[in-house]
Structure 1
Amino acid sequence: MIYEETYQYLLRNVSSTEFDTCLYALLHSDWDGVIQSPLHMMARGVGTTEKYLRQIINKFTAPQGSLKEVFVPVHQGEDILYKFNLGPASNLGFNRKTDRYCKKYRFFYSDAFKILTIHGKRLLLMGAFRMSVLKSEEVLFDYSEIVPDSSSLFTRQRLLDAIDAVHDALGHLVRISFASRAFSKKEVLVFTFTEGVLEQYKENRAERTLLRRTIFNSGFLGHINDSVCRELERIGKYIFRSFLQEATNPGVSNDTQQELLKLARFVYSHSLKKFGTALPANKQLLLAPKQASAYLSKIIYNETLEQMVKFSHQAESIKSLLERVHFHRDISEKALGREVNDLEMADHIEPILHKYHQAEFIRNVLNGWCETWLISRVKTVTEELRAEGKKKRTHDDKQIAAEYMTRIRNDTYGQLDRLLTLILKFGNHAVAPSARNSPLTKKKEILQSYFAIQKERLDVLSISTC
């Protein structure tokens, strides 16, 4: 989407080719706003040379007075890509019901649009934005909105020239005419778009391209069809939105928000790699999109659980460090070559304390996500068996439900035991083994009680129809 912030920037701060560069970026950005295109593809898509595109990127990556950078360099492996920094990325809480935006209409990416002057592009963007907001193919502007005074972007002559240019290039899609309001007699400008243009827009497929590339790089060379991709993306969006919901709570610092979003990307990408590695032996998943998404969902759960353990261990390690106040004072005094007072000591400890709270917060987010995931899977079993109660349950129905519950329980215990072993072997040995294992041990105890209760419920549902 072309969000309000991007719209305002395009109207005031770019040349014609820079305008097209921003539109290209919007169409090829992933959920984090990172443009998933190498320079040569981007230059071809914009309709310019790589040399000139580099000049635009140099401008966009530099602070522009009171304006923020349009592009932010992002290192992805050995490549340097760019994050489009205007407006929210698609995973940053954009509200379709309340926030204003313009769809990425197909004509924005046509050769006819690219050859327009900057004034023609701005005028057409204004009409398209209002069309998108009002969901009407006929919109109007008061003349004073476009030419408010002599210092505005448009003069009367520039406006007339822009209208002529739009008619010459895209007259088959839109007509722009002058009229006057019936009562006030104020001059207005009417945009009349051809019927159907409102729904003729491009979809951003950058995330799907990235998904296929990630799986390809994991070693699976087959094609992933769109129906499977959509299901896998649905699971990816769920983890992004879940983490984001916690990140946007009041009082959560910006660096913690960014850490959570980076973690969501890591969990999703790393899980896709594991999914791709498993595909050669599970090619039947490519014929069953729902099964494919369930398979990826289980991988994501295991990965999230592992990350929860890492942050839990990190929090315990920092807590152990904070408890040794004298150790901190000694280190600080040795570094400074003098005694350190309590105020200075607090300044030294504050960043460590912030890191502890951040690790503990993220641990709680991940733990909550894992619990929600597990409960939803178990709930599915009991609800399906309860639904079968309206019909006659067979022995096979009960047996399948019991086996599924047992499989979830055993998989969960197996994963926890594996992580307990890893923490004991590779964890911070400055932290006592009991403290290192405490979070996982408590979690296993809670889950044992939970599964015992669910088994009793399953038994009651089975007995009720015997």
Structure 2
Amino acid sequence: MIYKETYQFLLHNVSSREFDACLYSLLKIDWDGVIHATSQEVAEAIGTKKKYLKHIVKKYSKLLSRKVLVPFKDKYILNIGKHKNLGFKKRTDLYCKQYSFFYTPEFRSLPLNAKRLILMGAFEMSISGTEKLVIDYNNIVPSKRSEGNSFFTRGRLLNAIQAIQNSPFKRFVNVSMISTIHDRQELVWFSFENGTLDKFEKNHTERSLLRQKMLKAGFLELLSDEFCKDIQSVGMSIFNKLTKLEEENSKKRGLVCGVKEDLLEIARLVYDRSIKKMAVAMNKPEHKRFLTETKEASAYFSAIVRDEITQEMLKYQNQVDSYKDLLSSTEYLRGYQMEMQYDEEAGKALLVDSLETANQTVLDLEKNERIALILSDWDAEWVMARANTVVYEKNNEDENLEEAAPTKKRVWNSKEEAVKYLKSVKKSAYKQISKLITLISENGIPTETEGVLANRLKEFKDKRKETVANRLKVLEERRKEYKSYFDKLSEKITIA
């Protein structure tokens, strides 16, 4: 999609070839905004030379008011517009679909101002949902009464319209100047080809990456589009849910700098690791059915994701414990900072800088605490969501199952089947908590080799035992909450 920020960038900051290169790149970006296309591929797609494309990349990766292309490993991140995992809101965000005509030779042959005018019309078409529309002349050409667009004058607008009407691109849209009868107000009229609203290109970059990752992890069979869609939906839910939980926690507890960025990195890490585990699992004979039973495959994949999220939650909670232990020892903290910042020439420690180090430790603690909390919330919602899919409905012959229960609900024809499934969800939830309790019990107390805290092991041991006890208590309380929740659902199904 061409979001409002990208739309403004295309209107004001690019040449004709750069316009085409940016539009093509939008078809090749993943959920993180990384462009998965070589210079040669982009150059061939837009009809230019690889050398010229390298010039474009160099230009937009320099430090301007804002870097448009940010180096990422051997690729680049397109640093304009939104991506789905960065807070896209379908109801409020304005965007233009990537209409198929943007990627035709007829469009690429148009002069820059003609491309700008077409983009303005296409953006308005996406918003209004109609293929015939008008744009106020003063919203295109700046005047004393309106800002318009600085690149357009009356002459340039008329030349752009003429260029469109005299080109092969005319088969996609008719553009002309008209005026109203009552006040002679000038308007630019667009009439796009019938069916244009439904003719747009889709970005399948993540789908291609999924197939590549499964192949590299050892699964060599062909993956259907249906399988990829179901796995991708689970992957996208990680990004969306973590982003949503971060926003909710920011409203309740205040914004913590860096949390959102770290959560998105965790989401990508969890998704990629889960794909590798899924590939290994699908090589087992009992899991071959996942190729056709794609809903079962996505449920299995979701369980893998949950296990990976749990591991990340435990890792961040351990980091929180370490920061708390570090800050709890004022003597240790002061000595460590003074040693690091001692000035031999002056013969004294720079205590002012040590305060900055302490403050940074507090900030790191706050960030890790928030991330651990959000990951814990994600896990709790995962369990509740599985339990809430259980709905017992008697299947009457004249009853439509789609109307018997909300979308994505599991509709059971017998109470026994519904209760059995609910018990399996409950067992899975308890198993995960037991695993956490074991990990915390085994790793909660530091050993003699635990990094910078080894020298102060005796000081921290009692405090760490108390921390471990508190964390185990929280898990036990969560197990009780789950028991109460599952008992209520089971009772509801039994008496239905």
TM-score of the alignment, normalized to the shorter chain, above 0.5: yes
Match for residue 401 of structure 2? none
Which of the numbers 327, 332, 338 marks the counterpart of 2:337? Answer: 332
1:82 has 2:103 as partner? no
Aligned-residue offset at 1:60: 0.8
Query: For the structure 1 residues 439 and 363, does the alpha-carbon distance in structure 2 shift closer, same or farther, using more than 3 Å as the test?
Result: farther
Match for residue 280 of structure 2? 277
Which of the numbers 71, 74, 78 marks the counterpart of 1:73? Answer: 71
Q: Is the 8 A contact 1:34 1:82 kept in 2?
A: yes
Secondary structure at the aligned position of 1:316 is classed as: helix
- Residues 409-454 of structure 1 show CA distances to partners (whole Å, capped at 9, x for unaligned) of 3354246425644556889464536256446523442244245435
Identity %: 32
Which one has more relative contact order, counting CA pairs under 8 Å at least 6 apart? 1
Query: For the structure 1 residues 332 and 410, does the alpha-carbon distance in structure 2 shift closer, same or farther, using more than 3 Å as the test?
Result: closer
- Residues 156-198 of structure 1 show CA distances to partners (whole Å, capped at 9, x for unaligned) of 3432332232231311110011111121112221111111112
- Give the Cα–Cα distance (whole angstroms) in 2 for the partners of residues 37 and 125 of structure 1: 23
Give the counterpart letter for 2:69 in structure 1. Answer: F
1:162 has 2:167 as partner? no
Q: Is the 8 A contact 2:142 2:153 kept in 1?
A: no
Q: Which runs of 5+ in 2 are unaligned?
A: 395-404
Query: For the structure 1 residues 117 and 463, does the alpha-carbon distance in structure 2 shift closer, same or farther, using more than 3 Å as the test?
Result: closer
- Give the Cα–Cα distance (whole angstroms) in 2 for the partners of residues 247 and 440 of structure 1: 22
Q: Which moved more, 1:291-300 or 1:92-101?
A: 92-101
1:105 has 2:126 as partner? no
- Residues 304-334 of structure 1 show CA distances to partners (whole Å, capped at 9, x for unaligned) of 0110000000010011111112222222323
Query: For the structure 1 residues 161 and 72, does the alpha-carbon distance in structure 2 shift closer, same or farther, using more than 3 Å as the test?
Result: same
Match for residue 446 of structure 1? 477
Match for residue 141 of structure 1? 135
- Residues 90-137 of structure 1 show CA distances to partners (whole Å, capped at 9, x for unaligned) of 211122222221111000011111111111111111111111111111
Q: Is the 8 A contact 1:306 1:419 kept in 2?
A: no
Q: Is the 8 A contact 2:25 2:35 kept in 1?
A: yes
Query: For the structure 1 residues 218 and 420, does the alpha-carbon distance in structure 2 shift closer, same or farther, using more than 3 Å as the test?
Result: farther
Query: For the structure 1 residues 457 and 197, does the alpha-carbon distance in structure 2 shift closer, same or farther, using more than 3 Å as the test?
Result: closer
Match for residue 308 of structure 1? 313
- Give the Cα–Cα distance (whole angstroms) in 2 for the partners of residues 442 and 236 of structure 1: 31
Give the counterpart letter for 1:336 in structure 2. Answer: Y
Match for residue 256 of structure 1? 259
Aligned-residue offset at 1:342: 6.9
- Give the Cα–Cα distance (whole angstroms) in 2 for the partners of residues 24 and 165 of structure 1: 23
Which of the numbers 348, 357, 366 marks the counterpart of 1:357? Answer: 366
Give the counterpart letter for 2:154 in structure 1. Answer: R
Match for residue 29 of structure 1? 29
Which of the numbers 373, 378, 395 marks the counterpart of 2:382? Answer: 373
Match for residue 267 of structure 1? 270
Give the counterpart letter for 1:74 in structure 2. Answer: F
Aligned-residue offset at 1:220: 0.8
- Give the Cα–Cα distance (whole angstroms) in 1 for the partners of residues 433 and 336 of structure 2: 42
Give the counterpart letter for 2:361 in structure 1. Answer: I
Q: Which moved more, 1:42-51 or 1:5-14?
A: 42-51
Q: Is the 8 A contact 1:33 1:90 kept in 2?
A: no
Q: Is the 8 A contact 1:313 1:436 kept in 2?
A: no
- Give the Cα–Cα distance (whole angstroms) in 2 for the partners of residues 439 and 39 of structure 1: 55
Q: Is the 8 A contact 2:270 2:308 kept in 1?
A: yes
Query: For the structure 1 residues 411 and 341, does the alpha-carbon distance in structure 2 shift closer, same or farther, using more than 3 Å as the test?
Result: closer
Query: For the structure 1 residues 208 and 416, does the alpha-carbon distance in structure 2 shift closer, same or farther, using more than 3 Å as the test?
Result: farther
Query: For the structure 1 residues 399 and 55, does the alpha-carbon distance in structure 2 shift closer, same or farther, using more than 3 Å as the test?
Result: closer
Give the counterpart letter for 1:322 in structure 2. Answer: L
Secondary structure at the aligned position of 2:80 is classed as: coil
1:317 has 2:348 as partner? no
Q: Which runs of 5+ in 1 are unaligned?
A: none
Give the counterpart letter for 1:73 in structure 2. Answer: P
- Give the Cα–Cα distance (whole angstroms) in 2 for the partners of residues 261 and 410 of structure 1: 27
Give the counterpart letter for 2:173 in structure 1. Answer: V
Secondary structure at the aligned position of 1:148 is classed as: coil
Q: Is the 8 A contact 2:387 2:486 kept in 1?
A: no
- Give the Cα–Cα distance (whole angstroms) in 2 for the partners of residues 377 and 233 of structure 1: 18
Q: Is the 8 A contact 1:302 1:415 kept in 2?
A: no
Aligned-residue offset at 1:377: 2.5
Matches within 5 A, 1:33-432: 33-64=33-64, 67-75=65-73, 80-148=74-142, 152-167=150-165, 168-248=167-247, 249-250=250-251, 251-281=254-284, 282-334=287-339, 335-337=341-343, 344-380=353-389, 383-384=391-392, 393-394=415-416, 398=419, 401-402=422-423, 405-410=426-431, 412-414=433-435, 416-418=437-439, 420-421=441-442, 428=450, 430=457, 432=461
Q: Is the 8 A contact 2:392 2:414 kept in 1?
A: no
Q: TM-score, normalised by structure 2?
A: 0.84
Give the counterpart letter for 2:221 in structure 1. Answer: G
- Give the Cα–Cα distance (whole angstroms) in 2 for the partners of residues 107 and 96 of structure 1: 23
Aligned-residue offset at 1:336: 2.1
- Give the Cα–Cα distance (whole angstroms) in 2 for the partners of residues 105 and 463 of structure 1: 52
The CA RMSD measured in Å over matched residues stands at 3.0
Q: TM-score, normalised by structure 1?
A: 0.89
Q: Is the 8 A contact 1:172 1:194 kept in 2?
A: yes
- Give the Cα–Cα distance (whole angstroms) in 1 for the partners of residues 156 and 421 of structure 2: 73
Q: Which moved more, 1:152-161 or 1:228-237?
A: 152-161
Q: Is the 8 A contact 2:392 2:415 kept in 1?
A: no
- Give the Cα–Cα distance (whole angstroms) in 2 for the partners of residues 46 and 33 of structure 1: 20
Secondary structure at the aligned position of 2:278 is classed as: helix
Query: For the structure 1 residues 278 and 423, does the alpha-carbon distance in structure 2 shift closer, same or farther, using more than 3 Å as the test?
Result: farther
Give the counterpart letter for 2:299 in structure 1. Answer: A
